[in-house]
A and B are shown apart, each in its own frame.
Chain A
């Protein structure tokens, strides 16, 4: 067990190193003079010079990378090339929108997918099960942008229940209004990702149906459904948990699009703006943090999965 945890943590560290190197060097294969590109065609020579200095472009690329990593280890992500504000501070500020949005969409995805996935597996040979399965396939094919637009048309334009765009200027100082602005975006991501997750829940439960321990439980007198629910579900839940890390990655990516659509001041919208501005320091910091979150969650989920799964416990 300890060996597994250590190996997994080692893989996480390796992952972070690979990720940081890929991000750093991918953003530096820019054709031509990086400083000039960043400053844009209207950049004055002074601006270009300042950017060159800020990026440390006068030194070797490996030294630049080492500088960046050194800063990272001290929690310093560098400063924006456009506004000069520290990237870490801006990320923390925008996380106040993105983190609640991601958690809300994850909750909605789970609320949608778990009961419906179980139901569709239990009723697999009945029309209701087939209808749920087919609907999930269809919803999973919907582009998040379009889902958001349809929900705006329904809940904002037609019914007028929720705001179509924006986030209160005071932020979480106005909790109710902040929550209301995040609700529609969270439903957008939650429903689409929930449909993707539903298929996993369904498969996991179906797989559990065929397992020996469920059959045995049924043989000793439980009804098939009862046996599946009490003995099959815990195992099915484990399989679902193991895909959750990838699912969170999808939620974060969904947040980028949805924040843009709903005009929410979150990390995703900031990233889109920074890519447009070619603010390389910010882009690399933001992408590294987002990727880091996905990698860390993946490692955590793997470890938890291993600790909780009784099948691994017995092998010890």
Chain B
């Protein structure tokens, strides 16, 4: 019996990455995420042209050998702007995911593992906050603090974090009642050590899946908020700002809005599918059927 345990564990452990890369969803997600990361990293050391160099006579060049994606209204090379804009996307996706993770895990833990008089009000609070649209949180923050990427982080972080708390809370409760947590307590682990040692690692897969979706929401939110003027400041190059800047010209140069829009759509699609792939790879229990409770509990219709 004893020698079987490690094998059972490795059977559970190793394949998740392989399963992820083997599923079309997961593979697409990983490739897209890698491309965006590489583009952002590449833009730090090299871009085809200076992304902020204004060249008014050279504006609206069509895509060609010189400028693969053409130039914009002030003659900037679209490909270079797009590459630099990927940095904001990466920062926003990661930043929002971190805030969402903190908010989500904290609220879920408070709502699951504390004394009853704390736990139940927190659970009610989570139910209430879920109804708060992320964009409205962002607009409130922007009204108070002015526009910045931080507004996007915090708004998406809170908005999605609450969602995550709602999904994670029952899981934490379930894990907390399992034998190994009880054993940890019996062995003398303090409540905090027991949570970090035994509870959190067991809910990690759910959190990671959620974070992938949070990153997708964040990228969409950046586009919407920067368009409205609450996200990236006008001096920062971002995909959302590109859309806002080019909007006035869609009557004359419709092709130009194609690139930032496609970049956002493919990134969001990639992150969504990465989340789906991770979910299927890490949680066979959820992957079994295409159940509506799963859809309703995991990916809420959050949109911007």
Contacts and interface: CB of A to CB of B under 8 A. Distances in A.
A191 to B, nearest CB: 12
Interface string A13-32: 01100110011001111110
Given A157-B254, A252-B133, A144 B304 contact: yes
A142 B128 CA distance: 28
Interface stretch (B64-72, B94-102, B136-144): B136-144
9 contacts: A11-B127, A143-B240, A143-B261, A149-B257, A256-B139, A257-B228, A275-B142, A283-B139, A294-B132
B216 A143 contact: no
Contacts, number: 184
Contacts of B294: 203
A295 B301 contact: no
Contacts of A200: 292, 295-296, 301
B264 A143 contact: yes
Interface stretch (B11-19, B39-47, B192-200, B267-275): B267-275
A272 interface: yes
B78 interface: no
Contacts of B268: 141-143
Interface string B99-141: 0000000000000000000000000110111111111100111
B291 interface: yes
Contact of A298 (B131, B139, B227, B304): B131
Contacts of B264: 143, 146
A305 interface: no
Interface in A197-252: 197, 199-200, 202-204, 206-207, 210, 236, 239, 242-243, 245-247, 249-250, 252
Which 3 A-B residue pairs are closest in the complex by CB-CB distance?
A146-B261, A141-B269, A141-B268
Interface string A265-293: 00000011011101010010001001100
Contacts of B135: 253, 256-257
B290 interface: yes
Secondary structure dominating the interface of B: helix
Contacts of B224: 143-145, 257
Given A254-B303, A256-B139, A272-B139, 7 more contacts: A29-B144, A142-B268, A143-B261, A200-B295, A200-B296, A283-B143, A291-B133
B188 interface: no
B233 to A, nearest CB: 14
Contacts of A283: 139-140, 143
A291 to B, nearest CB: 6
In this complex, the interface size class of chain A, counting residues with CB under 8 Å from chain B, is 35 or more
Interface of A: 11, 14-15, 18-19, 22-23, 26-31, 137-138, 140-146, 149-150, 152-153, 157, 164, 192-193, 196-197, 199-200, 202-204, 206-207, 210, 236, 239, 242-243, 245-247, 249-250, 252-254, 256-257, 260-261, 271-272, 274-276, 278, 280, 283, 287, 290-291, 294-295, 298
Contact of A18 (B128, B229, B266, B303): B128
Contact of A239 (B139, B216, B296): B296
Contacts of A137: 269, 272-273
A144 B257 contact: no
A302 B113 CA distance: 27
Contacts of B129: 18
Contact of B243 (A149, A207, A242, A246): A149
Contacts of B236: none
Contacts of B125: 18
Given A146-B265, A271-B139, A291 B132 contact: yes
A247 B301 CA distance: 6
B140 A26 contact: yes
Nearest to B225: A257
A23 B140 contact: yes
Interface in B18-42: none
A67 B24 CA distance: 57
B295 A203 contact: yes
B50 interface: no
A27 B143 contact: yes
A291 B140 CA distance: 12
Contact of B139 (A142, A250, A275): A275
B57 interface: no
A295 to B, nearest CB: 5
Contacts of B220: 141, 143
Given A246-B300, A250-B133, A275 B250 contact: no
Nearest to A240: B292
A256 B257 CA distance: 20
Interface string B274-304: 0000000000000001111111100011111
B178 interface: no
